[in-house]
Structure 1
Amino acid sequence: MRASGTFSVKSFVPTELVPAPAIGTNLPVGVATLEKSFEGEVVGRSATLFTAAFDQETGVGTYVAMESFEGSLNGREGAFNFAHSATTSGSDRTAEFFTIVPASGTGELAGIRGGGGLAVDADGTHRMWFDYELDAGPGASS
């Protein structure tokens, strides 16, 4: 199954967390927490732990994110975790990774597994989709 939607970042809060030991590289490593809001076939919110080595001036870098989502996919309600990462040279996305964390689903999303993706339109609209399956069982079917 596929569920698609758009999202907006409701908050982006950098933290003071610094990897130890501190190692100097050409790109600084930062950590932040985010809250996102989703609309479309994906409705709900997520809490995100976000880590990146990124140059704000050139837009070059790589991020890794772990999200906890609460809401619905195609009308099925529950919560689950997913992880994603990508690299950018400032104008593209490469080395993309996106996976739903096995055994993390609750409610009607219990048993969820699969992947998905993320894209940013030229106008800045952020899109996310989940390609998923649900285990057969109480409250879940594929």
Structure 2
Amino acid sequence: MPETAAAFTIDLKPADPLLEATGRFDFTKDWTGGMTGTSTGLMLSAGDPSTGRAGYVALETFQGEIDGRAGTAVLQQFGTMTDETTLYYEFVPGSGTGELQGIKGKLKLDGHDVEVSYQL
């Protein structure tokens, strides 16, 4: 599976909650490196991050290039904070367009630095 390194900056804005006892955030990301472009998304969260116990889900639509291949793809995230933090971050199957059609793979975060493993 090919790999590429990328990084992003994020503009995260609180929005009106969609469900009781949850938080909602709208965001945009600017991507650089092997994944260049922008993405827009929505994050829902619950729990108490100040105590280290919370969770979130997010969907974002990326538009740009991955290693020079242009198109769009949707990314999904699922994260939990407990004694053991877990994070799943991957391309949504069937969401790729253009030269990213058929993309599948995972993203690994280290802060805002990302290792992207993908297959077309």
**Corresponding residue for 1:110?**
101
2:75 pairs, out of 63, 75, 82, with 82
CA distance in 2, matches of 1:5, 1:70: 14
Cα offset for 1:98? Answer: 2.0
**Corresponding residue for 2:91?**
100
- Give 5+ residue unaligned stretches, structure 1: 23-27, 121-125, 135-142
1:43-62 alignment, distance < 5 Å? 43-62=36-55
Tell me the alpha carbon deviations over residues 28-66 of structure 1, each in whole angstroms, 9 at most, x when there is no partner: 411121111111111111111101114253453111111
1:1-142 alignment, distance < 5 Å? 1-18=2-19, 22=20, 28-89=21-82, 94-120=85-111, 126-134=112-120
CA distance in 1, matches of 2:84, 2:66: 25
Q: Equivalent residue of 2:71, what SS? A: strand
- Mark the structure with the bigger radius of gyration: 1
CA contact (8 A) 1:86 1:93 kept: no
Report the AA paired with residue 133 of structure 1.
Q
Cα offset for 1:129? Answer: 2.7
How many aligned positions are there?
119
Q: Equivalent residue of 1:17, what SS? A: coil
CA contact (8 A) 1:10 1:36 kept: yes
Report the AA paired with residue 62 of structure 1.
G
TM-score, scaled relative to structure 2? 0.85
Report the AA paired with residue 6 of structure 2.
G
Name the one with the larger strand percent: 2
TM-score, scaled relative to structure 1? 0.73
